[in-house]
Amino acid sequence: MGIDSPRRSGPDTPAVAILGTGSYLPSHVVTNDEIGAPAGVDDEWITRKTGIRERRFAKGDEATSDMAVMAARNALEDAGIRAAQLSQIIVATSTPDSPQPATAAHVAHHLDAPPTAAAFDVNAVCAGFTYALAMAHRMAAADGGHALVIGADMYSRYTDPADRRTRVLLGDGAGAVVIGPSPGPGRVVATRLLNFSEGLDLVKVPAGGTRLGTSHATLDDRLHYFAMDGRGVVDIVRAKLPGLLSDFLDEAGVSKEDIAHLVPHQGNGMMLRTLEQDLALPRARMHTTVAVYGNTGAASIPVTLDDAARTGALRDGGKVLLAAFGGGFTFGLVLIDW
């Protein structure tokens, strides 16, 4: 188990805040009836099991970087920041355009970012955005620069159409934030990143890397598709996250009653209902987009945060908690003074 103690913005730490949010969802809406037929399930079954009514799939000529660029442009516009002002571009994804170069390099190219802007990817699967945001926060606090943090995933290319356990859950999308020096709303207060390796095999794409390369056998055995032990994921999240959250808030000097908004990873609508009860945040409003976008991997938290921000659900001064979990098995917590 790896533990990253909460990093807090103290009185001597330059304030770094979220200056703008943005998102992009592909235009193609995929209904439960459409996606369920090849998997042998119908709308009633999918809705009852997952709480998902529809999701978005990218067009055939779209790549992860294309979605990331669109979300990035929306976030930059919202922040009033130009790409030329960026010091870092970090893309959280487990579905990159290709093994190399980094998807962030494509984003930097299309945004015409300066060569002084570092561009790299982070893969913590569905917790990737919180990992990237924590890293960007520390770098921005150190150098006073602006960072573009993007979560983007295109799971429609990695799910088996016949696998009802995964195909009906996942969709495509991208979300982004711009962070930089600011004492105003959106200040990142504390972050915590963790990994529990006993859950290493709960979420995976078995083949296509250096451990198990591509062959006729791996293709025939469908080992290049996303695979997940759903029950195992629920068990480890329920066993670990409530305690991790309590410790995180205690060490950050914040009570559960202080949390006004919860933005969790949008893994499964039914799971989120249970998670809301487990976390026991009495005054927090839980924000969800899973019913209409499905699980968009690393994009799910920034997409949902952007939705909440743009609909006016977030108020200045309210404490926002981001809570993510993903393959590895990773957890990421971020506390924001909105």
Please state, in angstroms and rounded to a whole number, the distance separating the CA atoms of residues 259 and 338.
11
Domains 11-183 and 189-337 share a fold: yes
CA angle 140–141–145, rounded 5-degree value: 35
Contacts of 316 (CB under 8 A, 6+ apart): 185, 338
Q: Say yes or no to pLDDT of 283 above 70.
A: yes
Give me the mean pLDDT over the 147-153 stretch.
Answer: 98
User: What is the length of the chain?
Assistant: 338
pLDDT band at 10 (very low <50, low <70, confident <90, very high): low
Taking only the tens place, the pLDDT of each residue in 188-238 is: 999 999 999 999 999 999 999 999 999 999 999 999 999 999 999 999 999
Tell me the residue ranges of DSSP E strands in 167-274: 172-181, 187-195, 203-204, 227-228, 259-264
Bridge partner list, 190:
8, 335
Type of residue found at 190 = A
Q: Is the pTM above the cut of 0.85?
A: yes
What is the CATH architecture assignment of 189-337?
A: 3-Layer(aba) Sandwich (3.40)
The answer to whether the CB of 91 falls within 8 A of the CB of 147 is no
Domain ranges within the chain, ordered by starting residue: 11-183, 189-337
Phi first, then psi, for residue 215 (nearest 5°) are -150, 170
Please state, in angstroms and rounded to a whole number, the distance separating the CA atoms of residues 338 and 319.
6
Give me the mean pLDDT over the 274-287 stretch.
Answer: 97
CA atoms within 13 A on the CB side of 161: 8
Which are the catalytic amino acids? 126, 265, 295
Q: Which of 34, 31, 39, 37 is nearest to 55 (CA)?
A: 31
- Per DSSP, helices labelled H in 61-157 are 64-79, 103-111, 128-143
The answer to whether the CB of 103 falls within 8 A of the CB of 152 is yes
Give me the mean pLDDT over the 31-37 stretch.
Answer: 96
Give me the mean pLDDT over the 306-328 stretch.
Answer: 94
Please state, in angstroms and rounded to a whole number, the distance separating the CA atoms of residues 125 and 46.
23
For the four alpha carbons of 35, 308, 233 and 209, in that order, the dihedral sign comes to positive
Quote the pLDDT of residue 153: 98
Q: What's the CATH fold of domain 11-183?
A: Peroxisomal Thiolase; Chain A, domain 1 (3.40.47)
Please state, in angstroms and rounded to a whole number, the distance separating the CA atoms of residues 300 and 130.
11
Taking only the tens place, the pLDDT of each residue in 231-256 is: 999 999 999 999 999 999 999 999 99
Taking only the tens place, the pLDDT of each residue in 110-137 is: 999 999 999 999 999 999 999 999 999 9
DSSP three-state, residue 152: strand
Helix pair 103-111, 64-79: axis angle to 10 deg? 50
pLDDT band at 315 (very low <50, low <70, confident <90, very high): confident
The answer to whether the CB of 129 falls within 8 A of the CB of 92 is yes
Instruction: Please give the helix or strand (H or E) that residue 127 lies within, else none.
Output: none
The answer to whether the CB of 179 falls within 8 A of the CB of 138 is no
